[in-house]
Amino acid sequence: MECSFCPRNCKVNRAEQAGFCRVKGLTIARVGIHEWEEPCISGTHGSGTIFFSGCNLRCIFCQNDAISRSAYGREISVDTLGKLMLYQQSVGAENINLVSR
Ligand code: SF4
């Protein structure tokens, strides 16, 4: 399938190769409860954050270089992503917080 997820519109098959964002497949860098988002998002138990690897911008001042420009992370399946969301719910996450760059 051709990736047109963002305005870069690379049209690469991310099952086989990385696009401008340097990410192949579905790659995540971190999953965890984030208690430091804005209070209306974190609530009392924290936000169930999932950080996606890669970025479509490549800003030279990025504070998340390892995750964004170097695309640090682990490739997972869509099924695993769903299970991670259910895990976040089971440990009390107030919501599911999908973070991309
Ligand atoms: S930069 Fe990445 S997310 Fe955006 S279209 Fe290209 S491959 Fe897809």
Contact by Cβ (8 Å): 31, 84: yes
What's the rounded mean pLDDT across residues 76-93?
97
Beta-carbon contacts of residue 65 (< 8 Å; ≥ 6 apart): none
> What is the rounded distance in angstroms from the CA atom of residue 52 to the CA atom of residue 57?
14
Domains contained in the chain, number: 1
Please report whether residue 7 resides in a domain. no
What's the rounded mean pLDDT across residues 49-74?
91
Between the CA of 4 and the centroid of ligand 1 the distance, in Å, is 6
Please report whether residue 69 resides in a domain. yes
Name the nearest CA neighbour of 76 among 20, 34, 29: 29
Q: Is the CB of 6 under 6 A from ligand 1?
A: yes
pLDDT at 81: 98
Which domain range does residue 45 map to? 26-99
Please report whether residue 80 resides in a domain. yes
Give the side-chain half-sphere CA count within 13 A for 20.
Answer: 15
> What is the rounded distance in angstroms from the CA atom of residue 91 to the CA atom of residue 74?
22
Say what the pTM is. 0.87
Please report whether residue 6 resides in a domain. no
Q: Is the CB of 12 under 6 A from ligand 1?
A: yes
Please report whether residue 19 resides in a domain. no
pLDDT at 64: 87
pLDDT at 101: 67
Please report whether residue 51 resides in a domain. yes
Please report whether residue 36 resides in a domain. yes
Please report whether residue 94 resides in a domain. yes
Contact by Cβ (8 Å): 77, 95: no
> What is the rounded distance in angstroms from the CA atom of residue 85 to the CA atom of residue 43?
17
